[in-house]
Amino acid sequence: MQIYIKKENIDQNIQNISDHLESNIVFDEPKKSHYLVYDSNGLSFIKDSKNPREILHINFLKGALGWRMKRAQHESNLKKALGKNNDQLTIFDATAGLLTDTMIFLSLGHKVIAVEQSKILFCLVSDAIFRAKKDIPELKNLDFINDNSINVYKKKHQQLDVIYLDPMYPITKKNIKKSGNINAITKILKLENLENNEDEFISSFMESNYKKIILKRPLKSKKNYSNINYQVIGKTTRFDIYL
């Protein structure tokens, strides 16, 4: 994957990203169908430069992500799923993605260990963290790791209060239209050969010695395990809680 830089000054941030991805930095726009671009806005993934739906750029300060964070106290379903608790929890987000849900947990005052398997998503999100950290002090409570969360979990499980799982939903025509981001994530995972078996993934956590698992599911999907303790039902998604 090439990284196209619009300005010629390579800073330490892009040097770190290029090292992590083992990618070349180029100064002429690549002719390839997908590449990364680094400019004054930070890092973006380009699938089709003529189609804004095919560009993935993460910003925790503006747009939908910024809006959700400001309204963290109103994210009543995620709050309900966490349960009444005045203590600071340590939450393990095993499917970090664009970090949207983790940012809500952080805004609610909790500590989060968030793990993302994709190198490209990890770099896009790390760059967004880099740009936002002086404005979002709660980011100091985040440990963001690029790995397979099943491996990380084995090392860290003793210190965790909650495991949060939000595996990719099956792509339907309806949700592709709804979220350009889901579309871009799916493409990135395909590029990196990271499409894995969702049932196996969920079982690795369900079969472990956990305190609490919150599993996010499409509203109408089948229950994965019958021992659900309670559910929090939203408009299009639900949280299945296992204690």
Among 97, 126, 212, 215, binds ligand SAM (CB under 6 A): 97
By CB under 6 A, tell whether 126 contacts ligand SAM. Answer: no
* Binding range to ligand SAM, per CB under 6 A, among 7-15, 56-64, 68-76, 144-152: 144-152
Helix (H, G, I), strand (E, B) or coil at 94: coil
Query: HSE of 71 in the Cβ direction (CA atoms, 13 Å)?
Result: 13
- How do the residues of the chain divide into helix, strand and coil, expressed in percent and rounded to 5? 40, 20, 40
By CB under 6 A, tell whether 69 contacts ligand SAM. Answer: no
- The contact mask relative to ligand SAM for 184-223 (x = CB under 6 A, - = no) is -x---x----x-x----x----------------------
Helix (H, G, I), strand (E, B) or coil at 187: helix
The answer to whether the CB of 213 falls within 8 A of the CB of 205 is yes
Among 90, 141, 148, 237, binds ligand SAM (CB under 6 A): 148
How is residue 201 written in tokens? 């993934």
Give the residue from 186, 160, 42, 141 showing the smallest Cα distance to 94: 160
* Binding range to ligand SAM, per CB under 6 A, among 36-44, 75-83, 94-102, 221-229: 94-102
Pairing between β-strand 142-146 and β-strand 90-93 as defined by DSSP bridges: unpaired
Interface residues with ligand SAM (CB under 6 A) are: 95, 97-101, 115-118, 121, 148-150, 166-168, 185, 189, 194, 196, 201
